[in-house]
Structure 1
Amino acid sequence: MNAALHPQAGARRRLVLGYAGLALVCLLLFAAAGTDWQRGTRTLWDGLYDAVWNLGPPLLLGLTVWPVTKRLQSCSTAAALAGHLAGALAFVLAWLLLDWGSAAFFFGLDHANASAEQGLAWRAAGGVFGYGAMVAGFGGVLHARQAQAAALQAAQAERDAARAQAALVRAELALIQGKLNPHFLFNTLNSLLMLTRRDPGAAESALHTFSRLMRYVLDRSREPEARVELREELAFVRDYLSLEQLRLGERLRLAWAIAPEAEDAMLPPLTLQPLVENAVLHGIAPQIGGGLLSLAAQRKGDLLVLEVRDDGPGAVWPAPQTGRIGVGLDALQRRLQLDPSGRARLDIRTQPGAGFAVHVELPFET
Structure 2
Amino acid sequence: MSTSTAATQRNRQLWLAYAGGCLLTWLLFVLGVTEFQPGLWQFWEAMYQASLSLWPPMLLGLGVWPWLGWLNRRPRPLWELCALHLAGALLFGTAWQMLDYGMALCLFGNAHAQAMLAQSILWRALWGALVYLALLTAFSAVLNARRAKQLELAQVQAESALARAELSAISGKLNPHFLFNTLNSLIALTRKDAKAAEQGLLRFAGMLRYVLAEKREATERVALQEELAFVRDYLALEALRLGPRLRVSWQLDPQTLLDEIPPLSLQPLVENCVRHGIAPLPQGGEIVISAQRDAMTQALQLCVRDDGQGCEPGQAERQAQPGSSGGVGLSALRRRFALDFEGRARMQIHTAPGQGFRVDLWIPQT
TM range (shorter): 0.7 to 0.9
The superposition leaves residues 167-205 of structure 1 with CA deviations (integer Å, 9 ceiling, x where unpaired) of: 111100111111110010000011111112211112222
Question: Is structure 2 residue 239 aligned with structure 1 residue 245?
Answer: yes
Question: Is structure 2 residue 311 aligned with structure 1 residue 319?
Answer: no
**Shift in Å, 1:146:** 2.2
**Shift in Å, 1:123:** 3.4
Aligned match of 2:170 in 166, 172, 176?
Answer: 176
| 1:299 alignment partner in structure 2 | 293
For structure 1, the residue ranges without an aligned partner over 5 or more in a row are none
Cα 1:153–1:357, aligned 2, differ >3 Å: closer, same or farther?
Answer: same
Question: Is structure 2 residue 333 aligned with structure 1 residue 332?
Answer: yes
Q: Does the residue aligned with 1:346 lie in a helix, a strand or coil?
A: strand
CA RMSD of aligned residues (A): 4.4
Question: Is structure 2 residue 134 aligned with structure 1 residue 140?
Answer: yes
Structure 2 CA distance for aligned equivalents of residues 221 and 5 of structure 1 = 34
| 1:226 alignment partner in structure 2 | 220
**Native 8 Å contact 1:254 1:293 kept in 2:** yes
Structure 2 CA distance for aligned equivalents of residues 346 and 306 of structure 1 = 10
| 2:260 alignment partner in structure 1 | 266
Cα 1:59–1:144, aligned 2, differ >3 Å: closer, same or farther?
Answer: closer
| 1:310 alignment partner in structure 2 | 306
Structure 1 CA distance for aligned equivalents of residues 218 and 314 of structure 2 = 28
Q: Does the residue aligned with 1:292 lie in a helix, a strand or coil?
A: strand
Question: Is structure 2 residue 203 aligned with structure 1 residue 209?
Answer: yes
**Shift in Å, 1:234:** 0.4
Structure 2 CA distance for aligned equivalents of residues 62 and 350 of structure 1 = 73
**Native 8 Å contact 2:286 2:306 kept in 1:** yes
Structure 1 CA distance for aligned equivalents of residues 141 and 229 of structure 2 = 57
Aligned match of 1:167 in 135, 157, 161?
Answer: 161
Structure 2 CA distance for aligned equivalents of residues 89 and 219 of structure 1 = 71
Letter in 2 for 1:212: G
Cα 1:99–1:221, aligned 2, differ >3 Å: closer, same or farther?
Answer: closer
Q: Does the residue aligned with 1:318 lie in a helix, a strand or coil?
A: helix
Letter in 2 for 1:348: I
| 1:363 alignment partner in structure 2 | 364
**Shift in Å, 1:63:** 6.7
Letter in 2 for 1:315: C
Q: Which stretch shifts more, 132-141 or 193-202?
A: 132-141
**Native 8 Å contact 2:273 2:306 kept in 1:** yes
**Shift in Å, 1:354:** 0.8
**Native 8 Å contact 1:65 1:135 kept in 2:** no
What pairs up with 1:1-366 in 2 under 5 angstroms?
A: 119=115, 123-219=117-213, 222-301=216-295, 302=297, 303-319=299-315, 323=319, 324=324, 325-365=326-366
Structure exhibiting the larger radius of gyration computed from Cα positions: 1
Cα 1:361–1:79, aligned 2, differ >3 Å: closer, same or farther?
Answer: same
Letter in 2 for 1:180: L
Structure 1 CA distance for aligned equivalents of residues 226 and 237 of structure 2 = 17
**Shift in Å, 1:298:** 0.6
Structure 1 CA distance for aligned equivalents of residues 230 and 317 of structure 2 = 33
Letter in 2 for 1:331: A
Cα 1:285–1:268, aligned 2, differ >3 Å: closer, same or farther?
Answer: same
**Shift in Å, 1:219:** 1.7
Letter in 1 for 2:279: A
**Shift in Å, 1:341:** 4.2
Identity %: 40
Q: Which stretch shifts more, 81-90 or 276-285?
A: 81-90
**Shift in Å, 1:346:** 1.0
- The count of residues paired between Structure 1 and Structure 2 equals 326
The superposition leaves residues 80-127 of structure 1 with CA deviations (integer Å, 9 ceiling, x where unpaired) of: 897589669967996999799989xx78xxxx5xx799x3xx533423
Q: Does the residue aligned with 1:271 lie in a helix, a strand or coil?
A: coil
The TM-score with structure 1 as length reference comes to 0.72
Cα 1:130–1:358, aligned 2, differ >3 Å: closer, same or farther?
Answer: same
Q: Does the residue aligned with 1:319 lie in a helix, a strand or coil?
A: helix
Letter in 1 for 2:171: Q
Cα 1:282–1:91, aligned 2, differ >3 Å: closer, same or farther?
Answer: closer
**Native 8 Å contact 2:311 2:353 kept in 1:** yes
Letter in 2 for 1:188: T
**Shift in Å, 1:220:** 6.5
